[in-house]
Amino acid sequence: MQLNKYSESLIHLFEKAKEVPLETANVVNPLVSELASWYEKFRNSIEYRDEEVILRASIERILKRRLALGGSGSTTAKPLLKELVWARYFPESMYTEETIGGIEKIIDFYLNLKNEMVKTHHLKEGEMRDLMFQLMSSDVEQTLHPNRVEEAVGNYIFHVLQKNISATPETEEERDVQLFIAIRRAYSKDDLAFLRFKLFTQYFGKMNDQDPAVVSEKFGEAYKQIESQLKHPARFKILSYVKRHIPPFLIMEDIFASQDNIKEISQNEEELNKLVLAACQRKYKTISEKVRRAIIRSVIFILLSKTLIAFGVEGTYERIFLGHVQWMTLSLNVIIPTLFMIAVGFSIRTPGDKNSRLILGHIHTLLFENEPKIGRPMHFPVPDKKPRSAMEWVFGTLWIVAFMLSFGAITLGLSFLGFSAVSQMIFIFFLAIVSFLAYRINITAHEYSVESRQGILTPIVDFFFMPIARVGQYITAGVSQINIFLFILDFLIEAPYKGLVGFFDQWFFFLHSKREEIG
């Protein structure tokens, strides 16, 4: 069997990536590193984020704290990189004057760009400040952690799937932008901040190499176009389509990264098949572990937050207005959402052998067909500007009915159990969040699924469950914006804690220099 030109190029890139020399060992004082990395693990565990975006979010958090009272690249770059090295995001070999200089340049560019945009009134200061930190942190991450392999695989996925999505001449550009966004979301797992950065990079090229005043002239228009694309009516359909076709690329990437002789293996069909099926099973196991960690984190979050609110808010309300604490409803308010999350964990199943065989067939297509094409074709959906049809009105009405029935049934059940009005609101609040978290965990469990797993009862479950999960999505997004605890942690606790870590770092360095003087 002969590899096609696309898979040949991709394999060559993976081979070159493996030739990069290993970084030198991290020689930061072990205690200092342990203190800093422990804090980062704790901080990241209390905020629900995908593992792929933790580094960017940490960089943004440090930048906001360092620049809260003003500053520049020269005052911020060095301590930023030092904190990242302390926390073991990067080895100490990254801590060089060249790297620090590159980060200084990035920080100063975005600070100047923000000032230019505010001065010309293209964007409000608060809006531009938030956008500045998103772009700055994304640019710093890409500079410190460039992933050329990921970029190449993303381009390869784009090349394959683009041929499947037909569009009119007027909508081809929109199709390509939406496909690019969907691949960045489904494959690269970009958050909204990094996605904006990649779109600005597509628009301007490498921005920090340019004059901020020149970039600012077109920045406002670029921002409007990017936000329009991020809210495009077709985004959900394209994302859903891409997600269904991503698994073969993920397995193929894993094989290319782990095997040094993939060209020789490809000539032996039996050996290649065994390798693909083994990679599938290995990834399924990884997903099971990832799901287990997510469920444990969610259960801990529910137990801690529910217990705190149950005793702090619900218990206080009942003692003041009812004269006594209803211990039964208080306990149920903590136990039921927790049991619900545990039940969801036991019900989730990872893909099976049938799914692996489907992936195997797609990988053969990707490796050996001259113009690889997988999955069914689709037409790029054009937004319908006509008035809503009768069927759309019916669906909209049914969606409202689903909301009323779902929350109405919960309210009636809680009233029957003797829940007070406040207890009911707290219960529904957390049930919505738990439902959304359960939905996210279920998506993670099927990251490698290409087969449809619709059951007989799925439409009924979706009818009652999706309204609750949708409310949970809005609540989760809103809570993350006004999380007072995280604000206190980031600005009132983290700063002195990192200052203490810095003191220990300097003290141990001083002791080391004294020990060398004795020697």
pLDDT digits (tens, 9 = 90+) for 216-228: 999 999 999 999 9
Q: Which of 101-115, 161-175, 326-340, 367-381 has the highest mean pLDDT?
A: 101-115
Please check whether residue 79 is in contact with residue 29, taking contact to mean a CB–CB distance below 8 angstroms: no
* CA dist list (Å): 115 to 60, 109, 122, 200: 19, 10, 11, 18
In the predicted structure, residue 200 carries a pLDDT above the cut 70: yes
For residue 166, which amino acid is it?
S
Task: Kindly tell me if the per-residue pLDDT of 317 is higher than 50.
Answer: yes
What is the percent of the chain with per-residue pLDDT over 90, rounded to a whole number? 36
Task: Dump pLDDT digits (tens) for 168-178.
Answer: 988 999 999 99
158 burial (CB, 10 Å; 0-12 / 13-18 / 19+) is middle
Mean pLDDT, rounded, for 93-104: 91
Helix ranges (DSSP H) in 171-326: 172-186, 192-204, 212-230, 235-245, 247-258, 262-266, 269-309, 315-317
DSSP alpha helices (H): ranges in 68-124? 73-86, 97-119
* Mean pLDDT comparison of 76-80, 284-288, 423-427, highest-scoring range: 76-80
Question: What interhelical angle do 5-18 and 148-162 show, nearest 10?
Answer: 170
DSSP assignment letter at 367: H
**282-296 confidence digits (pLDDT tens):** 998 888 787 777 777
Whether the per-residue pLDDT at 26 is higher than 70: the answer is no
CA within 13 Å, CB half, 116:
17
CA distance 499 to 282: 42
User: Given the structure tokens 């996605």, which residue do they identify?
Assistant: 195
Q: Quote the pLDDT of residue 394.
A: 84
Q: Are 402 and 464 in contact (CB under 8 A)?
A: yes
* pLDDT in the model for residue 2: 82
CB 130 within 8 A of CB 60: no
Per-residue pLDDT reduced to its tens digit, 461-517:
777 778 888 888 777 766 555 555 566 666 667 767 777 776 666 666 666 666 666
| Residue of higher predicted confidence among 483 and 371 | 371
Helices 97-119 and 73-86: crossing angle in degrees, nearest 10, is 130
When pLDDT is averaged across residues 393-417 and rounded to a whole number, the result is 87
What average pLDDT is seen over the chain? 83
